[in-house]
Chain A
Amino acid sequence: MYDFAYHRPKSVADAIGLLKGKTEARVMSGGMTLIPTLKQRLARPSDVVDLGGVKELAGIKVEGNNVVIGGMTRHADVASSADVKAAIPALAYLAGHIGDPQVRNRGTMGGSVANNDPAADYPGAVVALNATVSTNTRKIAADDFFKGLFETALAEGELITGISFPKAEKAAYMKFPNPASRYAMVGVFVAKTAAGVRVAVTGAGATVFRVKAMEEALSKNFSSAAIKDIKIPADGLNSDIHGSAEYRAHLVGVMARRAVDAANK
């Protein structure tokens, strides 16, 4: 790890103030991605602004038809939240299947979504549930947020403060874990909300994507039979020693069908 200045602000305003003008500064939430990156000397920030002390960023609230989850909310808290379990059980399930207990007790929703790892689980939920990402300056619709490999709509120094998830009529998440890392090799989040049916795939491509053909078929008939003949093209999907693009494409179909079945249970 290279040397850096460490800060622990108490409010979002202070955090923003600390970041201002420092192009090489990085915020830290759970540190589950940032710290390994620092230890491997893959990043050399001038400053690390630890959001761990910013109380206003953590917590789960139900606001009308939405569940609003603060950026600093740990995966373990999402997984065990009675509110989340009641409103969107698939989201609690997803959070409960991220990493291991240590990771779930440190890692945060804001950190995960901001990082936009192609194999992260949350982006699937954010897109499928048509959630809205709140930052210190604006609100960003899910479809506009995830831009590409580790790339988001966030501007420099912009912080995720929370994410608002509409309640789902039906929803389920099916994850095929990478055998080694247990990140999502393919994760499919299927949701039926007021906005309609959405099928979001994480792990398979450079970033989360929707499968429109499945969405259309499921809008007409929300059953796994409705999508059993829909093939996902392998072009452009990720390929590595654990899964070829063809295998991932195939798994998207399998996980989607299983997710629909689970959502119907």
Chain B
Amino acid sequence: MTAASGIGARVLRTEDKRFLTGTGRYVDDLPLARATYAYFLRSPHAHAKIKSIDTSAAAKMSGVVNIFTGKDLVDAKVGGLICGWVVKDKHGQPHKAPAHPVMAVDTVRYVGDTVAMVVANTYDEAKDAAEAIKVDYDVRPANVDLAKAFDKGAPEVHPEAPGNMVYDWEIGVKADVDTAFAKAAHVTKLDLINNRLIPNAMEPRAAAAEYDKGTGHYTLWSTSQNPHVLRLILSAFVLGIPEHKLRVIAPDVGGGFGSKIFCYADETMVCWAASRVGRPIKWTAERSESFQTDCHGRDHVTHAELALDKDGKFLALKVETIANMGAYLSTFSTAVPTYLYATLLAGQYTTPLIYANVKAALTHTAPVDAYRGAGRPEATFVIESIVSKAAAEMKIDAAELRRKNFIPSTAFPYQTPVALQYDSGNYPPIIDEAMKIADYKGFEARRAEAKSRGKLRGIGFSSYIEACGLAPSQVVGSLGAGVGQWEAAQIKFNPTGNVQVMTGAHSHGQSHETTFAQIIHDKLGVPMDQIEIVHGDTATTPFGMGTYGSRSLAVGGSAIIKATEKIIAKGKKIAAHLMEASVADVEFDNGVFKVTGTDKNVPLAQVVFAAYVPHNYPLGEVEPGMDENAFYDPANFVYPAGTQICELEIDPETGTTEIVAFTAIDDFGNIINPMIVEGQVHGGIVQGVGQALFEAAVYDKDTGQLISGSFMDYTMPRADNFPSFKLGYKVTPCPHNPLGVKGCGEAGAIASPAAVMNAVHNALAPVGVKHVEMPATPLNVWQSIQGAQHQAAE
């Protein structure tokens, strides 16, 4: 191993050469001979009965190849889209699972619901024809207000889910928690909304498909984060194409944040229609379609209460949440506000009793599913908001209250009252370091100085924990998951000594091609430029579960390690033969096999060559070739943790918030490439700050139209909204995976909303503001200040 590029080195990203020179290959770039183009006609109404669809005029228009509607799918007996995780309600009953037709049959249930697919020689012709389709809608009242979704008389989204209730789920024993509350010296109560977000990956979703009549083979190119899972869903549940006759390829993918995990209507249609049309079909979402139809994120209404003793020790936590599912249950939607949310409510604390009740609601809005952090940002926001509120109410320093309740480092493995067992961690040094870097001591002086400039300065903490590295298969299976969550790797040496590493994970911006190569380089001593990471194609990679839930390194990387061990074990046998030594005497170091205590050695490349040209070779004991695969099922989740401190200034005249300093200290376990990890943390923080200060998916309460349906109205965080971040690491290696790694992809987004909002509340406390919902836009902050002033005047 050369220190310059092995584990721990800041290796520049291998993939950047093509990304930065415009030579990446995305689905839309695909040249397909004789391609047709699809356009989807989408519902302009949030809720309507379809009385009729007349495609006759459209079908005659120039260039039109074919038009499909929901009825065609019914006739062809195509299955509906599925939700892959069965959550059992508090009575042990499985959640209500309303049908999710790939295209609407008789009812549309959100603005953007798929109504018809037009396939034409060009995209513009398809779009022209779609305008000529006459749909007769009987518009019905829509239910888009989550807080009112269960109200009597709220418009029902599906008859299969009476009262719009998908499940009424709980964890913990309510009676025990109530008893603890009765004894509490102090109870802090908090009502909050976790605002709905639109993912906005830079690359919109896209699909292309081709059908080979001779072999009956379908190829689907998709912007998927997990091509194998997409293939499995399409094969086993939706289209019935045998798995071996369907190849799913996700080439370069330009961001996803979760939104590209799921199996969507449009890519399903493109695949299905390819054989009917007899020519390849291409489709790329327009940005407006992304806004309307990518699964949205978050969207909770929550009431929480924290019971404390007189010294500030947490006695119990009670949380009630209504979670929006949207109009249909997307692939992992049901798990997000339950097993990825309520199980995290212990946070970094020893809270002995926790009860959570989660009700999932259907509304006439786009489906809601996992979005960067998926459930864990929502949980962190509840805990870290209520802890800071309790600190303010009890007049205890926010850091001190946290420290008082941290799980001590000696208590690991630590069993929380909400199912998870934390494997490792050491929280106090993290917050100490964060406070040092953020100069917490100097804050009051900075606040006073800001006040002299007319600004309100605030500081806020967020000490998060997350469970990622999804996931031990048997654990998630027992909780209702429809799949296992191991990962796979294959290491295939070529005779000339270079190596291809096939992984079931798939990068959509995470730099796997660099990080995974560093692992191979470190473990096998192969030079970086002799390593290729292969991913994203079901035909060339082993079945794997894809990339989400900060799992690729912890689970996929561990599979790679296991495969390297097999390579080394096999190599030792071959090397022993070549060196005429006993296998027990052969050691492997930095790409070279050696006989212990001698200067006899043979490089790995030579062993590989011998394996492919086995002339002088122990054929009786060892098979030829150097090609090993491994599957890895994790023993537990991994538990990254950290503390963020946000410092900001509010202009009380305009309500504008400016972040002036942001510190994040994380424990991600061992770190392979600090530069890449920093990139992940930067992006995560920005996304979380986006939620806290800028982003909101807003539907019109009466019409159900998506008001924030373009960048003109949906506020994306931008570079000039941020200072330079101050980052640092504290390492407690993960004890149960071979790399000792945790996950880093979601942490920034999980922690930062609470850090920002605690700082906002801290800044606004002197002017009497009690509560501000996210996003703390200038309007929202200004109105909160006005409200507080009115109250003070009364």
Asked if B124 and A180 make an inter-chain contact with CB atoms under 8 angstroms apart, the answer reads no
Q: Which residues of A contact B127 (CB under 8 A)?
A: 41
Partner of A179, one of B124, B694, B698, B707: B694
Using known A-B contacts A242-B777, A243-B779, determine if residue A1 contacts B713 with beta carbons closer than 8 Å: no
Asked if A1 and B779 make an inter-chain contact with CB atoms under 8 angstroms apart, the answer reads no
Asked if A247 and B783 make an inter-chain contact with CB atoms under 8 angstroms apart, the answer reads yes
Asked if A180 and B654 make an inter-chain contact with CB atoms under 8 angstroms apart, the answer reads no
A250 at the interface (CB under 8 A from B): yes
A93 at the interface (CB under 8 A from B): no
A137 at the interface (CB under 8 A from B): no
Q: Which residues of B contact A181 (CB under 8 A)?
A: 711-713
- Inter-chain CA distance A243–B713, complex, in Å, is 11
Asked if B711 and A241 make an inter-chain contact with CB atoms under 8 angstroms apart, the answer reads no
Using known A-B contacts A241-B707, A254-B653, A254-B654, determine if residue A180 contacts B778 with beta carbons closer than 8 Å: no
> Which residues of chain A (176-212) have a CB below 8 Å from chain B?
176, 179-181
CB of A217 to closest CB in B, whole Å: 19
Using known A-B contacts A1-B124, A254-B653, determine if residue A180 contacts B713 with beta carbons closer than 8 Å: yes
Asked if A247 and B713 make an inter-chain contact with CB atoms under 8 angstroms apart, the answer reads no
Asked if A180 and B714 make an inter-chain contact with CB atoms under 8 angstroms apart, the answer reads yes
A251 at the interface (CB under 8 A from B): yes
B715 at the interface (CB under 8 A from A): yes
Q: Which residues of A contact B654 (CB under 8 A)?
A: 176, 251, 254
Q: Which residues of B contact A243 (CB under 8 A)?
A: 778-779
- Inter-chain CA distance A241–B712, complex, in Å, is 11
Q: Which residues of B contact A11 (CB under 8 A)?
A: none
Interface size on B, residues (CB 8 A): 23
Q: Which residues of A contact B707 (CB under 8 A)?
A: 241
CB of A119 to closest CB in B, whole Å: 10
A244 at the interface (CB under 8 A from B): yes
Interface size on A, residues (CB 8 A): 17
Q: Which residues of B contact A40 (CB under 8 A)?
A: 288
B66 at the interface (CB under 8 A from A): no
Q: Which residues of B contact A41 (CB under 8 A)?
A: 127
Using known A-B contacts A176-B654, A251-B654, A254-B653, determine if residue A244 contacts B779 with beta carbons closer than 8 Å: yes
Q: Which residues of A contact B601 (CB under 8 A)?
A: none
B725 at the interface (CB under 8 A from A): no
- Inter-chain CA distance A250–B698, complex, in Å, is 24
CB of A246 to closest CB in B, whole Å: 8
Partner of B782, one of A2, A241, A250: A250
- Inter-chain CA distance A240–B128, complex, in Å, is 32
- Inter-chain CA distance A181–B694, complex, in Å, is 12
Q: Which residues of A contact B777 (CB under 8 A)?
A: 179, 242
- Inter-chain CA distance A180–B288, complex, in Å, is 15
- Inter-chain CA distance A208–B124, complex, in Å, is 38
Asked if B711 and A180 make an inter-chain contact with CB atoms under 8 angstroms apart, the answer reads yes
Q: Which residues of B contact A2 (CB under 8 A)?
A: 128
CB-CB nearest in chain A for B696: A241
Asked if A242 and B713 make an inter-chain contact with CB atoms under 8 angstroms apart, the answer reads yes
Q: Which residues of B contact A250 (CB under 8 A)?
A: 782
- Inter-chain CA distance A179–B777, complex, in Å, is 8
- Inter-chain CA distance A181–B714, complex, in Å, is 8
Give 14 pairs: A residue, B residue, CB < 8 Å, sorted on A. Answer: A1-B124, A176-B654, A179-B694, A179-B715, A179-B777, A180-B714, A180-B715, A240-B713, A241-B708, A242-B779, A243-B779, A244-B779, A247-B779, A254-B653
Please name 12 further chain A to chain B contacts, defined as beta carbons within 8 Å, in addition to the given A180-B712, A241-B708, sorted by A numbering: A176-B654, A179-B694, A179-B715, A180-B711, A180-B716, A241-B696, A241-B698, A241-B707, A242-B777, A243-B779, A254-B653, A254-B654
List the interface of chain B (C-beta within 8 A of A): 124, 127-128, 288, 653-655, 694, 696, 698, 707-708, 711-716, 777-779, 782-783
The 6 lowest CB-CB distance pairs between A and B, nearest first, are A180-B715, A181-B712, A179-B715, A254-B653, A180-B713, A243-B779
